[in-house]
Structure 1
Amino acid sequence: MKVAIGNDSNGIELKEHLKAHVEELGYEVIDSTPDKDFNLFEAATEISKVVNEGKADRGIVIDEYGVGSFMVANKYKGIVCANVFDEHSAKMTVRHNNASIITIGSGIVGKKLAEKICESFLHAEYDGGRHQIRVDMLNKMC
């Protein structure tokens, strides 16, 4: 699985930490924001494009609170994104919503919790079935 990861200027340190962790888990990482001057709009846009184009299977965006990136990513057709702060939400947004991107707030979530959030997100699989109705409704909105 390929994982695109990006940040705004407030998420650089956490992104670098998570890049190493995700690679240690055996995933290929695409750093979509290698420069330090990205804002949250640009970061979320880059990750959304990489995922939509099939260059990555999942995406992670890090800004100070996660909410701004979350709002931007969800404006893109075909993207289901969740702003997560815990492992359970990271897992369930994939299982029930088929989320392809999560956002994490570097000002809210520490390094160890962020590692666990990424693990839960990347190991989760979509349940399909009755949940597909909701995913179809979400995709019709864009």
Structure 2
Amino acid sequence: MKIAIGCDHVGIILKPTIIEHLEAKGITVIDKGAHGEQRTDYPLYAKAVADAVVSQEADLGILICGSGIGISIAANKVNGIRAVVCSEPYSAKLSRQHNNTNILAFGSRVIGAELAKMIVDEWLNAQFEGDRHQKRVEMIAALETQP
């Protein structure tokens, strides 16, 4: 499995911990930046990770900013992306099971490292259930083609 990861200058605090956690599980990580604490704009990294997922360079993506909100909104502007911002594991799990999310976002000002790892694990371990949820995911995708 390959996961693209990106963050802004605020998310840089958590990114190395998440990369290390993923690599310890044998997951290949594609780091799309940022690479330092210099002030930067989260939409740049949301787009980079979203593009990696849509192009299938990566299977999934993880985004980190201060709250997770802005970076997830930006990622969701890319057709084919279903990004979710989560601050606890249960919602992360359900987002994969019911919505087949392909990007997970969270905030470094909202959660700590251990909780972030728990959220990542629940999200990665969950599987899309399909069935009645498939129709809804298709309805979401159809919204992307409407004017």
TM-score, normalised to structure 1, is: 0.96
Displacement of 1:34 in angstroms is 4.7
Find 1:57's aligned residue among 36, 59, 63.
Answer: 59
The alignment status of 1:14 with 2:14, answered yes or no, reads: yes
Shift of 1:35: 2.8
Give, in whole Å, the separation in 2 of the partners of 1:80 and 1:35.
Answer: 25
RMSD: 1.0
Q: In terms of Rg, which structure is larger? A: 2
Match of 2:44 in 1: 42
The TM-score normalised by the length of structure 2 is 0.93
Deviations 1:12-42 (A, max 9, x none): 1200111001111121111111532442111
Deviations 1:31-71 (A, max 9, x none): 11153244211111111000000011110000000000111
Kindly report structure 1 stretches of 4+ aligned residues shifted beyond 3 Å: none
2:74 to 69, 72, 75: 72
Tell me the percent identity.
37
Give CA-to-partner distance per residue, 1:71-118, whole Å, 9 cap, x none: 111111111010101111111101100000011100001000000011
2:115 is aligned to 113
* Structure 1 unaligned residues grouped into runs of 5+: none
Distance 2:115 2:84 in 1: 16
Q: Could you say what secondary structure the match of 1:90 adopts? A: helix
**Which residue does the alignment assign to 1:104?**
106
Deviates more, 1:28-37 or 1:88-97: 28-37
Q: Which residue of 1 aligns with 2:89?
A: 87
Provide the residue aligned with 2:32 in structure 1: 32
**Matched residues in 2 for 1:82 and 1:132: separation?**
17
Amino acid at match of 2:62: I
1:90 partner letter? A
How many residue pairs get aligned? The number is 142
